[in-house]
């Protein structure tokens, strides 16, 4: 069974760290999923109140019972819960802080989509025969469309490293070979929650590795 760390718990919810590659919900041809595996880990049926893409990792809320699920689904829908993400991108944005508000087509319909962003760091990944501008970006969602962050950044020539669906496959191949980046570098890193104990908000944050310090691995010359 896949390990799913519990970061925080009260009588209504768990805040867990979802691993990259783990689907949130079970279905056809899905061997492992958060809803099934975490229910087995805790010994009780857990209830989904929001989702993360299969390849996105990091903080996520699940509810302990249907009443709590209804409450937290409404809290998330009303923006009472703030979700922040960090992405490492193979590209650099012209404006270092701003908002992307390009609509997205979802299930055949044009949907509004708004992503706030701030560039935290920029560097250049250099190898013997390539040079890739990189950036680390913090993001806050106003809307929650499928693959919203991934599509918004890709449409602005700043695709997330490791995103072969919306990003640059050729660049990802170089990053995988030279930096051993084998997964999508997008994480849910911070949740701001209203809590029932009377506190106004409660912030939960998870650490994020500094990919700007990763060094190019030399490929041995076999000639």
Q: Which residues are catalytic?
A: 53
- Which H helix or E strand runs over 104? strand 104-106
Do the strands 109-111 and 6-9 form a parallel or antiparallel pair, or are they unpaired? unpaired
Distance CA 60, CA 4 (A): 11
Mention every residue, 6+ apart, whose C-beta is less than 8 A from residue 112. Answer: 101, 103, 143
Q: Is 192 helix (H, G, I), strand (E, B) or coil?
A: strand
Q: Which of 18, 16, 17, 11 is nearest to 67 (CA)?
A: 11
Distance CA 211, CA 214 (A): 5
């Amino acid at each position: 069974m896949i390990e799913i760390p519990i970061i925080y718990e009260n009588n209504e919810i768990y805040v867990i760290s979802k691993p990259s590659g783990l689907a949130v919900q079970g279905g056809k041809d899905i061997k492992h999923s958060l809803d099934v595996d975490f229910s087995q880990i805790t010994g009780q049926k857990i209830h989904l109140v929001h989702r993360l893409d299969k390849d996105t990792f990091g903080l996520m809320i699940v509810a302990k019972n249907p009443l709590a699920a209804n409450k937290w689904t409404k809290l998330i829908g009303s923006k009472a819960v703030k979700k922040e993400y960090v992405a490492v991108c193979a590209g650099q944005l012209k404006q270092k802080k701003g908002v992307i508000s390009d609509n997205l087509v979802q299930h055949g319909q044009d949907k509004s989509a708004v992503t706030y962003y701030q560039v935290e760091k920029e560097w250049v990944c250099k190898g013997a025969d390539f040079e890739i501008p990189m950036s680390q970006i913090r993001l806050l969602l106003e809307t929650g469309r499928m693959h919203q962050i991934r599509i918004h950044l890709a449409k602005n020539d700043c695709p997330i490293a490791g995103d072969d669906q919306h990003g640059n496959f050729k660049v990802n191949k170089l990053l995988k070979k030279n930096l051993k980046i084998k997964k999508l570098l997008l994480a849910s890193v911070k949740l701001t929650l209203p809590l029932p104990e009377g506190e106004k908000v409660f912030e939960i944050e998870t650490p994020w590795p500094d990919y700007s310090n990763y060094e190019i691995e030399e490929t041995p010359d076999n000639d």
